[in-house]
Amino acid sequence: MEITASLVKELRERTGAGMMECKKALSETNGDIDAAAEALRKSGLAKADKKADRVAAEGRIAVAQDGGKAVLVEINSETDFVAKDENFLAFTDAVAKAALASGVSDVEALKAAKLPSGQTVEEARAAVIAKVGENVQVRRMVAINSDNNVAAYVHGGRIGVLVEVKGGDSDLARGLAMHVAAMNPPHIKASDVPADFVAKEKEIELAKMSDKDKNKPADILEKIISGKIAKIVNEVTLYGQPYVLDTDKNVEAVLKAAGADVISSQRLAVGEGIEKVVEDYAAEVMKQAGLA
């Protein structure tokens, strides 16, 4: 029997399952929509898509690495409880390995990548939703493929960093990845800091100065402002920050001693940028009881 678009649409509306899952179920049941719907329910895929609009701001950063090739993937769940579930953990590890093996560079391509089970990442995601009962999303990924020293570091499953270092060794690269995880510098070097940021900081520092300082000779005033700006720039750059593994030195000094240079740095933190919904269950109960 021909599997028409209208038949797939009808099954989607009945079950809430994904389009590809519906099409596959109909093919396997020779177009019998009732049998297909029952098969989807048995497999747990039915209604998985209906959870897609629920906020998923918890989760895990998964990592996979092979020498200078490394990848981080952020996969979200609704609760921290599910983020520790063995089904969720196995899925995130499998997705990271698939990202590394396939060489894809974005999440949309990753969704179509095959897992060892034969499922695509998207098909496996729907199956995990059915098992854990929450919305699960493959949200972001970053990757490096280089002949330089590459470190992939994940802290507590919630913060992941990739760092590429020219020169030095693997220990230095890992130490720098740990630094980026802890300090989250927005920029690598002073030359990377936008000019408009520097101009705005100068304006702010000048406004904060007393009238007495503002009336000092122009060259002295410029030295005062330049010193303050240099300190601010150090705070927002990797090279300018005190190195977390040796705070007596800044990162630039550590790199110089090793004859090394940071080429790139990428950092992911679980849920950053997602607006979380804060539930007030006591208020909700009172409202439903007509007490609020």
Average pLDDT over residues 106-117: 94
Residue 63 has pLDDT above 90, yes or no: yes
CATH no. for 5-46: 1.10.8.10
Domain boundaries, the chain: 5-46, 58-145
Residue 108 corresponds to which amino acid? E
Residue 10's pLDDT is what?
A: 84
Q: What is the CATH T-level fold of the domain 58-145, as seen in this structure?
A: Tetrahydropterin Synthase; Chain A (3.30.479)
Residue 46 has pLDDT above 80, yes or no: no
Average pLDDT over residues 264-292: 71
Residue 45's pLDDT is what?
A: 58
Q: Say if CB 71 and CB 100 are below 8 A apart.
A: yes
Residue 110's pLDDT is what?
A: 96
Pick from 261, 68, 58: nearest CA to 156: 58
Mention every residue, 6+ apart, whose C-beta is less than 8 A from residue 255. Answer: 168, 172, 239, 261, 262
Residue 64's pLDDT is what?
A: 98
Counting Cα atoms < 13 Å in the Cβ hemisphere of 70 gives 28
Average pLDDT over residues 168-193: 97
Residue 53 has pLDDT above 70, yes or no: no
Residue 93's pLDDT is what?
A: 98
Q: 19-23, 179-183, 283-287: lowest mean pLDDT where?
A: 283-287
Q: How confident is the model at residue 273 (pLDDT cuts 50, 70, 90)?
A: confident
Residue 164 CB neighbour total at 10 angstroms: 23
Q: Say if CB 59 and CB 74 are below 8 A apart.
A: yes
Pick from 99, 62, 57: nearest CA to 76: 57
Q: 17-21, 162-166, 246-250: lowest mean pLDDT where?
A: 17-21
Q: Say if CB 292 and CB 286 are below 8 A apart.
A: yes
Q: How confident is the model at residue 49 (pLDDT cuts 50, 70, 90)?
A: low
